[in-house]
Amino acid sequence: MKVAKVRSRILRTPADNPLVVGLPKPAATREFVTVEIETDDGVDGIGITFFGGPLTGALKQAVDALGELTLGEDPLRPEAVAAKLRRAAGGAGPGGVFTLALSAIDIALWDIKGKALGQPVSRLVGGYRDRAPTYASGALLRQHPLGYLEEAGPRLVGMGFRQMKTQLGAEPTAAPPSNASASCARVSATTSTSCATSTSSGA
């Protein structure tokens, strides 16, 4: 089995909130880059990655460039293919657009391997557990007012989430740092949960 075709595209979806009803953003969209890898045996795999903003086109180009390097490779050896792509990237990685592009290719290759072997990918990478805890991320963003947090938090609890992530500060439009603890306390009070804070260099 060899990789025969690689196709990518930009997928635009409405910027709604899949967990709770977010603040209205007329005509707002989110852009994802998807990739489909097809083998000479007819088995295909799909991967997805996301950057957002004006660099979505650049991310697609990176996916296309890495996809070209996978042609003729064995999709049942995703780690070996990923190692080849890392070597080809040279000083471009790890991190940044390279890693985002590589993730889409990697997901698609594992998808192919799972289909070819008739096994879920979770089992192929170890299968340590058949259930995993989740937390709600992306619903309690830093730009939302306190009133919104009061409504969204209990709804997430009602959906079964025992943990949720919220963003505090770090943006020019965000509430001042003194309000960060107030936001955390408001969510905690309306959901009857404890509130712990930590710092992160990511989102």
Segments forming the whole domain that contains residue 175: 136-191
Q: How many helices (H) and strands (E) does the chain have?
A: 6, 5
Asked if residue 52 and residue 105 are part of one domain, the reply reads yes
Q: Answer whether residue 141 is part of any domain.
A: yes
Q: Answer whether residue 103 is part of any domain.
A: yes
Asked if residue 147 and residue 61 are part of one domain, the reply reads no
Q: In Å, how far are 11, 28, 128, 144 from 25, measured between CA atoms? A: 18, 5, 41, 12
Read out DSSP for 79-142? HHHHHHHHHHHGGG-SSHHHHHHHHHHHHHHHHHHHHHHT--HHHHTT---S-----EEEEE-T
Q: Answer whether residue 49 is part of any domain.
A: yes
CA gap 45, 37 in Å, rounded: 5
pLDDT at residue 47 greater than cutoff 50: yes
Domain count, the chain: 2
For 176-185, write each residue's pLDDT tens digit.
545 566 666 6
Backbone angles phi, psi at 137, to 5 degrees: -125, 140
**pTM of the predicted protein model:** 0.76
* Domain at 33, CATH number: 3.30.390.10
- pLDDT for res 19: 58
For 7-41, write each residue's pLDDT tens digit.
999 998 877 665 565 555 666 788 999 999 999 99
Asked if residue 174 and residue 105 are part of one domain, the reply reads no
User: Side chain identity at 189, as an amino acid letter?
Assistant: A
Asked if residue 144 and residue 117 are part of one domain, the reply reads no
User: Side chain identity at 62, as an amino acid letter?
Assistant: A
For 60-113, write each residue's pLDDT tens digit.
999 999 999 999 999 999 999 999 999 998 876 667 899 999 999 999 999 999
